Every structure is written in C-alpha cells, then in structure tokens.
Amino acid sequence: MSTKRRRDYYDEDDNNGEEYENDAVFANGSKSQKVEVDLSLLEALEKSQSQNKNAVEVVDLKTLKKLVLSFERKLKDNIEARLKYPNQPDRFADSEIDLHDDLHKLSILAGAPELYPDLVNLNAIPSILNLLAHDNTDIAVDVVQLLQDLTDPDVFEDDEESDEPARVLVDALVENNVLELLVQNLQRLNDSDPDEMAAVYSTLTTVENLVEVKPAVAEMVCERTKLLKWLLGKIKVREFDSNKQYASEILAILLQNSAANQRRVGQMNGVDVVLQAVAMYKSKDPKSLDEEEMVENLFDCLCCLLMPLENKERFVKAEGVELMIIIMKQKKSAYSSAIRALDFAMTKYPPACERFVDVLGLKTAFAAFMGKIPVNKKNKKERYQEELEERIVSLIASLFGGILRGSRRERLLSKFVENECEKIDRLMELYMRYSDRVKTETERLNHLELDDLEMDEEEKYNRKLESGLYTLQLIAVILGHIWCSEHPYMRARIELLLKQQKLTNKDVKDILQEYHDNIGDLDGPEEKERAQAKIQKFISAF
C-alpha cells in the first residue's frame, strides 16, 4: 500500500471528505504526530503482510470458516470505530488496516474454487459487496481486487462440472447487486491517479470475468447500470492509456452477441462517438501495439453497432461512409478495418450503397479489389491478404445487392468493362483460387469419412464455408449480376475465361445452386424466399 493511499485514511472527515487545511490534523496532536502514526501503521502493515506470505495454509472448509469469521469481526470493529469516532480518522485507522489485511487473506480462496458454494452459504457475499461503497476508496479497491481474483477464468477448468462453483458464486454476486456497486465505484474513481487507475482496470477485468462465466451479465450490466455511458465517455478522450484500451475491449465484448446492447448504444449516440474515436486515426498510425489493439477494438465495436438497421442509418447520417473512404485513401493501418466497416454498413442496406457510389467510393474500392493495397509489416502476412480479399469481395457483392437500377448501377457495371475487362479477369482469378481450395477441402473431408469419422452434411458444409466456399459463392453471385446485365462484351469475357480453365457455365450454376439450397431463414421466411428467388434468377440466366 502506497504512502498516498495510507494518507487517505486521515484525509476524511464528515465534511464531504475534504482534506484538512491546517497542521492541526488531530484533535490532540500535531502534523508531526500524524506522520509518526502513519509510519508506524506502515511498519505494522508491512510486517503483517510479510507474515502472511510466509504462512501457507491448507485451503479447506475449516480454513474458509476461519477466514470468514475473522473478516466479519474486522468489519464489525471498523463499523463501530467509524461510528464512535467519525471525526477522528486516527481512531479508526487501525481497524481499516485490519480490514484491508483480511480482504487480502480471502483471496486465497481463488486456489480452491470448489469452496465457492460454501462461501455463498456462509452469507459472506453481502458483507464483502457492501464494502464497495465504503467511505475509504482503498477498501473498495481491495474488494474489487478480491472479486477479480475469485472470478479469474484461469481459476476454473474447462469442463462443465468444474464451472458449476463459478456459476454459483457469480449468481450470488449478481443477486447482491455486484454490477450496480462495481459501476458506482467505477464512477467515483479518479482515473488520473495511478492507484485508482489500477482499480479501474481491475473493475473492468471483473466485469469481463463475470460475463465469461455468465454471458447474460453482458445485457444485465447495461440494463441496470451506467457502464455504457462510462465506456463511451472513456473512448472519447483523445489521450491514449491502458484503461482507454480496456474500455474499448469491454465495449466490444458487451456489443458482440447482444442486439439489445447494439440498439442501446445506438440510442446513446454511440455510433457517432465510435466514429469520432476512429477518426483520430484516419491519417496517422497507432504509436504502439497496445494502441493498435485499441483501434481494432474500436472497429469491432463499430461493426457490431452496424448490425441493427437503425444504426446503419445513423452511420450514413454521421458521414461514416465518407470517413471510411478517407481512411482507405490515407492507406494507414486502419485500411482493412475501414473496408470491413463499410461491408457491414452496406450489407442489406441500399442507402449506404448509394451514398458510397455518390461520394466516389468505387475507385477506392476497386483499387483494393485489384490488389493495390498499402504495404507494411502487418499486411505482408498471407492471412491478412486473404481476409482483405474476402472482405472486398463481400463489399462488392453488397453493392450489387443494394444498387439494382439507374445510373449508379451503370457506374458499378462499367467498372468491369474498363481497361479491357481487367476486373472480370481478377474476378475469375479469385474464382479459380477459391474453387481449388474448396475442392481440396471437399476431398479431405471425404477421406475423413472413409476413416469412419462421423460428420453430418451440415458440419461438412460449414467446414467448406470456412475453407473459402462462402467467398466463392459471393464471387459466383457477382458473376450472376454481371451476366444478367446482358452486356455482350462482359459475357463473352466470362465465357472465354471459363473455357480457358476448362470450365462451363454449369460450374458456376452448381455453386449458385448449393448457395440457393443453403440460404437460411434467420431474417424470416419472406426474406429467405426473396434471396432464393434472386439466386434462382442467376441460375436460370446461366
């Protein structure tokens, strides 16, 4: 415990916690006496902690009961001392240090998670959590650290049975308002103070741990607390620090699998806040790996937010399309992330596609499609190149799906005619590469079946999707759009390239048919019928 943190024990009175403004700190003593007491308490605490390190106890039910009993006694002593001497911090400082010490002792339980149900049955959880609102923020910080230790995922095994004690603990914590208390404590911490900055990090870690054990916590914490408001406020700050990075990560986790949270953040002007945060990197690269990770987190947040239709509308109104194009043109490290965000924005949302064409995004997009991407250490990696290819193919498929007629459609189609149909050549190059990958994976899966490995058709299909079938299907869809334009020059080019690879229109039709047969009804039966009708039109045309 730092000298500063210990000093806080004496800096409290009943006048809103203001510091004493003169040297008469104690009723019967001088400032020098305060320093002497402070140092003696420091020595006592360090001696106590040293003894605890050397004492190794077997963690069993008996130990647990002893720890809880001791903790309850120290808590009672502290409450009584504070009530008896509210204006004399020196009279309750010793009980505060004892309480701090016992909270640290309880962290030994992280080594025996099987005892968590017993901890709950001993009714210790309410007493521990009430300390999150303790007048001394150091005690609240101790509780946060304890909760972080007890809920650490490394404490638990991966099997279902070993996770049960963790669920019992987390359920008890949630029932006793841990989420509300954690966020209230978070709001009162001073993020510019080094000690309290660490407490902020521990609080966010605890929230992440709770979500990992009980995924429903992701929506609970957003319904019951102002955590989202705090996180958005944190990522708005221009200066980078570790807690801004962690705030971006927690926000991404909360948005990841929750449509309710995505809508909630959208209603809080969150789309605009995230756009402002990523805009800081439109013409500069992050200065460190941690800052780079934060930027990726911010784009993860943006992509999650772009799932609900109403947030796509907010994105377009906030000029998100224009910002992403600027980021692509600047060719900094956020280049591929901007393409990903545009793809999410334009999927099944024609207004975003139209805006993209209107603000001259086609030239930038097709430069990426042709492989003219910025080169740096990161994107030299083969997997990065593949992900970028897959994303830009998806983006172009979204454009074709969103722009069905008019001058914008003509501008899109004209891109495949210019420079002697070079973009059709590129499309067929990608078609062949992904087709070969899917064939290789299909042969591998067939061999696995011969080895008596059970695999149903759905699993096989999903494996093929992961190996590149989805991108191959999108390429076939783009070819379908071009073919249905009935442009003789483009049709002739496609037929020539298929013939050169000893393929026919039937090969494209087969891919489209498989895509047609596997379209799901996630968006409802009517949407499924519309999607299948569109693909059937391509099949018939070929």
Angle between helices 270-279 and 320-330 (to 10 degrees): 20
Q: Does one domain contain both 361 and 448?
A: no
> Stretch 450-464: mean pLDDT, rounded?
75
Q: Does one domain contain both 443 and 377?
A: no
Cα 408 to the center of its chain, rounded Å: 36
**Residue 289 falls inside a structural domain:** no
Give the number of domains in the chain: 2
**Residue 138 falls inside a structural domain:** no
Q: Does one domain contain both 464 and 364?
A: no
DSSP 1: -
**Residue 202 falls inside a structural domain:** no
> Stretch 401-406: mean pLDDT, rounded?
92
Paired tokens of 116 = 């968590």
Q: Does one domain contain both 392 and 453?
A: no
**Residue 185 falls inside a structural domain:** no
| Predicted pLDDT of residue 20 | 34
Cα separation, 444 vs 442, in Å, equals 5
Cα separation, 379 vs 253, in Å, equals 25
In the predicted model, is pLDDT for residue 46 greater than 90? no
Cα separation, 187 vs 169, in Å, equals 24
Q: Does one domain contain both 369 and 401?
A: yes
**Residue 446 falls inside a structural domain:** yes
Q: Does one domain contain both 455 and 392?
A: no
Q: Which of 177, 181, 262 is nearest to 228 (CA)?
A: 262
The chain-wide mean pLDDT, for the chain, equals 85
In the predicted model, is pLDDT for residue 264 greater than 50? yes
| Predicted pLDDT of residue 88 | 83
Residues of the domain holding 486: 427-541
Summarised one tens digit per residue, pLDDT across range 116-151 is 999 999 999 999 999 999 988 889 999 999 999 999
**Residue 407 falls inside a structural domain:** yes
DSSP 16-82: TTPPP-SS--STT--HHHHHHHHHHHHHHHHHHHHHHHH-----SHHHHHHHHHHHHHHHHHHHHHH
Q: Flag whether the pTM goes above 0.85.
A: no
Cα 199 to the center of its chain, rounded Å: 20
Q: Does one domain contain both 389 and 338?
A: yes
Separation of first and last alpha carbons in the chain: 74
| Predicted pLDDT of residue 163 | 78
> Stretch 191-218: mean pLDDT, rounded?
90
Q: Does one domain contain both 434 and 533?
A: yes
In the predicted model, is pLDDT for residue 434 greater than 60? yes
**Residue 372 falls inside a structural domain:** yes
Q: Which of 483, 494, 489 is nearest to 540 (CA)?
A: 483
Angle between helices 320-330 and 361-369 (to 10 degrees): 50
The pLDDT-based confidence of 379 (bands split at 50, 70, 90) is low
415, 449, 468: which is the final residue of a domain? Answer: 415
Own/partner long-range contacts of 36-45 (Cβ < 8 Å, ≥24 apart) = 37/90, 37/93, 38/3, 38/6, 38/7, 38/10, 41/6, 41/9, 41/93, 41/94, 41/97, 42/1, 42/3, 42/6, 44/97, 45/1, 45/6, 45/97, 45/100, 45/101
In Å, how far are 95, 107, 496 from 36, measured between CA atoms? 18, 31, 92
The pLDDT-based confidence of 44 (bands split at 50, 70, 90) is low
Q: Does one domain contain both 514 and 466?
A: yes
Q: Does one domain contain both 345 and 435?
A: no
In the predicted model, is pLDDT for residue 413 greater than 70? yes
Q: Is 267 helix (H, G, I), strand (E, B) or coil?
A: helix
In the predicted model, is pLDDT for residue 39 greater than 80? no
In the predicted model, is pLDDT for residue 236 greater than 90? yes
371, 391, 415: which is the final residue of a domain? Answer: 415
**Residue 444 falls inside a structural domain:** yes
| Predicted pLDDT of residue 373 | 77
415, 435, 457: which is the final residue of a domain? Answer: 415
List, in order, residues 6 or more apart from 376 with CB less than 8 Å away.
333
Q: Does one domain contain both 345 and 431?
A: no
| Predicted pLDDT of residue 17 | 39
| Predicted pLDDT of residue 528 | 85
Q: Does one domain contain both 354 and 451?
A: no
